Structures are given as structure tokens and as C-alpha cells.
Amino acid sequence: MKSALIVIDVQKSFMHQPFWSEEDLPAFREKQLALIAGYKARGLPVVQIFHHAGGAFDPANGLCVSLDWLPDYADVTFSKHVHNALTDSGLLPWLKDNAIEHITVSGMRTEQCCETTARVASDLGFKVDFVSEATLTWAMTHPDGSTLSAAAIKHRTELVLVDRFARVVTVEQCLAGQDERRSA
């Protein structure tokens, strides 16, 4: 089963949002880079997705580019205007044209574009690995005033995805799964 890594919205636009925090960035960066390197070492395609919308996500402002620490890694790049990376970006036809049956989801924001992509991909028949340690999000405040930490949001995302829409895995488990697929 051929696989592709999808790196979603790891772009400078987020640095210009009021919720931006670098608290969890070092751990995310380490895991995201390890995942990319693992896919590249195995000769598997890595796809970069950029979110294009208004404000900081408007491509005209120059912020819809990779964060500085991200290497030039992508085999192919797509832009999206909705939360999921499949329906309006050109990614879905590319996956079909390249006989990709399995995707690995990583990137920014865990509970928004990453989770939505995993759900849509599953509904479209793809096998999905969700590597939450290679996703990044920030605390959110509910309208009632209560706050959910980034860790709690990730935990909730894992709960709603696991065994329904995706296999929730670590970077190491994901890459080991790729090795098993290659040897099968």
C-alpha cells in the first residue's frame, strides 16, 4: 500500500495570530522534522499544504510560506481554501494519480485542518495515520470562559479519531508501519 506524508499549514501565517505561542514549538519541530526525514529516507512522497484565506493567510502578504526551520522537502505543494487538504487543493486527484492508498497527517492546527483532513480522507477510503506529536495547536477559550489547553485539545482529537477515522501513532510507530508495508 503506497503512502504519502501530508504536512499541513506549517506556515508563517500562524506567527501573526493572537494565540501564537512557541511553548510547544520545539517538540513539534523535532517530531515534524523526524517524520519528514523518515519519509524521505524511505523514498516516500512528502506533500506540503498551505492554507490560503484572508488576513495573515492571504498569499499576497508573503506569510503563506514555510516556517524558517522547515527544509525544502516537498515533492509536491498544494494550496487550500478550506479546512481539509483534500477537497479544493488538487491533492485528491494527485493522490489518485499516484496510487496512494495511505496518508499520514501532520502539521498545524491539530483539531482543525489536521483533524478535518484525517476525517475526510477516511471517508474517501484512505487509510490514515494521525501523528499527533507531529501536530501543533494552542489553548482555546470556550464561549463560557473555560480554557482547554493544547494538550487537552490533542487528547480530545486523538479520542475522536482513533479506530474511527485514523490510527493514532507516534513518529516511530508511523515509520515502523511504513517499513512493514514495504516488506509485505
Of the pLDDT bands very low, low, confident and very high (cuts 50, 70, 90), residue 39 is very high
Q: What is each CA distance from 65 to 13, 166, 175, in whole angstroms?
A: 8, 28, 26
Q: In the predicted model, is pLDDT for residue 137 greater than 90?
A: yes
**Which residues constitute the domain of residue 144?**
2-183
Q: pLDDT at residue 172 above 80?
A: yes
Tell me the pTM.
0.96
Least confident piece of the model among 37-46, 120-129, 171-180: 171-180
Report the distance separating Cα 168 and Cα 171, nearest Å. 10
Q: What is the pLDDT of residues 2-29, one digit of tens each?
A: 999 999 999 999 999 999 999 999 999 9
Cβ pair 61, 8 in contact under 8 A: no
State how far the Cα of 21 lies from the Cα of 138, in Å rounded to an integer.
7
Residue 27: give its domain's CATH number: 3.40.50.850
**Span 37-64, average pLDDT:** 96
Secondary structure (3-state) at 130: strand
Q: What pLDDT does residue 178 have?
A: 87
Domain count of the chain? 1
Neighbour count for residue 45 (Cβ, 10 Å): 18
Residue labelled with grid coordinates 495547536? 137
